[in-house]
A and B are shown apart, each in its own frame.
Chain A
Amino acid sequence: MTTTPTERSGAHRSLADTDAPDVIKVQREDGTLDPARDPGLSSAEVRALYRAGLLTRRLDERLITLQRQGRIGFHIGSLGEEATILGAAFALRPQDWILPCYREFGAALLRGMPLQRYVDNMFGNAGDPAKGRQMPDHCFWKPAHYASVSSPIGTQITHATGVAWAAKIKKDDVVALAYFGEGATSSADFHNGINFAGVFKVPAVFICRNNGWAISVPAERQTASETFAEKGIAYGVPSVRVDGNDLFAVIHTTRAAVASAARGEGPTLIEALTYRLEGHSTSDDPRAYRPDAELEPWKRLDPLPRLRRHLEVCHGLTDAEDQALLAEVDAEIRAAVEAAGETALPSLDSLFDDVFAELPWHLADQRDALRKGPRARGH
């Protein structure tokens, strides 16, 4: 007998209930942290993470505006998911790898990717490390082992298993972390990646951002399981659920998973319960499928005000300091956007570079023909 998602409302509640008893939380209502799970960050570290959160949030807002103004083609953001994205990246060590989905630019910036590099990627200009070949938000940053982003769903999960496996074979102390949405748990690559990771006990951490929606399809349409975490159990992979809007819970949980992987105890699947506060991307209008009322409880759990509350209570953040941080972040974004707007387009020849390590004859023929022919308009 088949049931519809609405009939399975019990499962629906479970998939989105951050108050469920198995969901790890660290920050309490009053802004203080549970001492049993407090990751013990310094005041400077918490402030740096807050600043990274503000930068991510303000970038998201600015990029949506730029897309609406027609200055960039597209943006796929992380509004509401900042704690999951930043917390997991913060928990990694410098030698660890990130195999991202497409919403985690905040993690790359936190790991040292220059803001200008990211904004140039958003503009697809000559400064774009991907040379204008990819859509916006398909960035990468090799110095921090932040891999290249593709659009197909789930493929990076299997790569993370391979990176971790290679590190294990070479006996390097390196952990690979994959980010993906809950929609990706339906993909063949989730099955392949987690299954291989379990069989070969590789040092990988799988972060499932359960943000409630895969474009218009709600989480309960992706699975008949009560949780996404329990899928890991079937593969012999320890799995936990965490409040994905609680930065300290994400850091605590990811650190434990990284430590376990580094000790040779194999992979962990972490389901981070969070919420996509915007549409899937600038190409999506969620009002067509998502009632506004659903957003209200999640707005109250917005990770940035929660983090600010902790900073105020435990680290003496003042309004003036908050405003100054915001002004600083906005100025950085403004400067990067201005510079990106003034940077030229990628060269015509760059279209043919990097298909192969060296240009073969057929691409040289095609390049020469393009050079001689008329130029396109409208880019």
Chain B
Amino acid sequence: MPQMNMVQAINDALRFEMKRDSRVVILGEDVGKVGGVFRVTAGLYDEFGEDRVIDTPLSEGGIIGTAIGMALYGLVPVPEIQFADFIFPAYDQIVSELAKYRYRSGGEYSAKLVIRTPMGGGIRGGLYHSQSPEAQFIHVAGLKVVCPSNPADAKGLLLASIRDPDPVIFFEPKRIYRASRGEVPEGDHTVPLGKARVVRPGQSLTIVAWGAMLYESLAAAQQAAEQGIDCEVIDLRTLWPLDIETIVASVKKTGRLVVVHEAPKSCGLGGEIVSLVNEKAFLHLEAPPVRVTGFDTPFPYTLENEYLPLAHRILPALVETARY
């Protein structure tokens, strides 16, 4: 199997699916000739032409609004929003139209899109190139939300997302776009939506993480192991609807839960995971579930490594929870 980074794996998935399914089109800012500001769509314009890899005017609302119209007509658009931070001009189209189209038409119509967008901090991007807005989409009925942590999953989850009948917001953790490398299956390769992966099995504590924070969680788990704390680390992969069975089974085994995410703490996905565990595994808990997250502030530039829930902040939470 070829070695790829996440950018190459996503590019490979897009190329594969565009060859397989002529309905798939890409549109967005700078996605065509230049291949995207992160080069995720590099080469696709030359290969598939300007009708299928479309450089649009600079308007996220226009990109998503027209993509919805394309989807109603039967295309399968995979629009790119250049940074998740810039998705909000399209929020009305996503919340009011995309997410509700099937429901409000009694299942007769549907608007199937996969919105790809880089998310998260760690690239010195400050307020407007760093945010993790997954909870703002999970809270909207009708959207699936995905965030891969490695190249093979990025390809497999993207292909599954494009073939899924529902709209998907596909968040790409840009901090590990190139840092995460690994073997990626050639040709067709899907990873089912709604299935988490136990990356590190363990007995004494469950960590749930996704995207770039998976690696911080694994690093912290490694350090905790030196103190005799045996962490199980779950990569959520599909953020919504999430794999509750895997989480609950793990917590029933370990009795302890730490959720790690970059997004602000309050009303983040971590809060929802803790609530679900309280509902479904309360009597198995040996310690209060804990969230290690970004803060309820805008995302800072200079102090971003203080803001991010990096391994040095995760480790004390693991120790405290394990010794509670």
Contact = CB atoms under 8 A, between A and B. Distances in A.
B190 interface: no
B93 A148 contact: no
A150 B100 CA distance: 9
Contact of A192 (B51, B62, B102, B241): B62
B75 interface: yes
Contact of A159 (B65, B106, B110): B65
A150 B65 contact: no
Given A195-B57, A360-B241, A162 B68 contact: yes
Contacts of A99: 69
B73 A131 contact: no
B97 A150 contact: yes
A197 B69 CA distance: 12
A196 B55 CA distance: 11
Given A152-B96, A195-B57, A360-B241, A162 B67 contact: yes
B17 interface: no
B241 A176 contact: no
Contacts of A147: 72, 109
A188 B70 contact: no
A134 interface: yes
Given A159-B65, A162-B70, A356-B142, A195 B59 contact: yes
Interface string A115-153: 000000000000011110110001010100001101110
Interface in B235-267: 241, 244
Contacts of B73: 97, 162-163, 166-167, 170, 174
Contacts of B62: 158, 192-193, 195-196
Interface size range of chain B in the complex: 35 or more
18 contacts: A130-B106, A131-B106, A147-B72, A155-B65, A158-B66, A158-B93, A159-B65, A159-B68, A162-B68, A162-B71, A162-B73, A165-B66, A169-B51, A169-B70, A188-B89, A188-B92, A196-B57, A354-B105
A179 B164 CA distance: 31
A287 interface: no
A285 interface: no
Contact of A355 (B25, B61, B70, B142): B142
B144 interface: yes
Given A159-B65, A361-B241, A134 B104 contact: yes
B166 interface: yes
Q: Which of A152, A157, A354 has the most CB of B within 10 A?
A: A354
A189 B94 CA distance: 13
Q: Which of B71, B97, B164 has the most CB of A within 10 A?
A: B97
A140 B105 contact: yes
B135 to A, nearest CB: 15
A355 B103 contact: yes
Closest 3 CB pairs of A and B: A162-B69, A158-B65, A192-B62
A158 B194 CA distance: 31
B108 A142 contact: yes
Nearest to B142: A355
B101 interface: yes
B96 A150 contact: yes
